Amino acid sequence: MKAAGTIREIEARLKHGGLPAEEIEQLLLDSRAGVRRLALTYQRREERRRQEERRIEEMWQFERTYRQRGCRLIAGLDEAGRGPLAGPVVAAAVILPEDFDATGLNDSKKLTEQERLTLRQRIDRDAVAVAVGVADHRYIDEYNILQATFEAMRRAIAGLTVVPDQLLLDAVQIPGVTIPQEAIVKGDGLSHSIAAASIVAKTERDAWMARESIRYPNYGFEQNMGYGTPDHLVALERWGPTPIHRKSFAPVRERIQAKSGGGR
């Protein structure tokens, strides 16, 4: 059995998409191996596209539920930088419009740097409101990383140009906030609002660390973003902590104690 058209013509039709299922089935039965490969590739591509559409739709579930309850301004919150040995913890609050184009939007950890930057531009351009809150290394050392994370989130909320009706957060509840909030486990992969906040927080903090790498070029901050990578630990041992290192974090604290003789 042979479908109408040359392999090149069939490839062109498949490239434009939208072919009925019956025609694809015919192509899969074509006597030409090249046509069958094209049809199979098209079928797989269409299935990935449908899965992505379902994922995008499902990630509106929390926002949709709260809108049905009358909430108009729903802010997603997330943070970046709880684990590094240097630099601040950065939180972001993002309110997306109902018609926001969520194509490609996902947990920032699942995206490439370029994907995050492209999405950040769309978020900044189209969001109802975007704000960033920062708690630096001094705050972290004084109060601990969890309290610093809460403070960064409170500062992000305070920086919004409108007051949200509802907060959606990735697995945490912020003390000292009167706005209703819901903690969603793995929320950055389940809510577009939280995913958008994770992208803003991540890109903001990465840019901050990249700037600091110019001041402290020996530590590779532009690559490790302050995390305790092997190269970073080697640099910490050789050069000692910078002013932006978190002295309360064990590898940094131990290096300070060793240098002062307190580790002997």
Which string of b and e fits 164-186 if b means at least 16 CB within 10 Å?
bbbbbbbebebeebeeebeebee
Beta strands in the chain (DSSP E): 74-80, 89-95, 129-135, 166-170, 181-184
- For residues 136 and 91, the answer to whether their CB atoms sit within 8 Å is no
The DSSP bridge pattern shows strands 89-95 and 129-135 to be: antiparallel
CA distance 50 to 223: 35
- For residues 200 and 92, the answer to whether their CB atoms sit within 8 Å is yes
> Which residue ranges are tagged as binding site for a divalent metal cation?
78-79, 170
CA distance 49 to 55: 10
- For residues 101 and 218, the answer to whether their CB atoms sit within 8 Å is no
Give the tokens for residue 119: 């999405």
CA distance 160 to 94: 8
> Which residue ranges are tagged as binding site?
78-79, 170
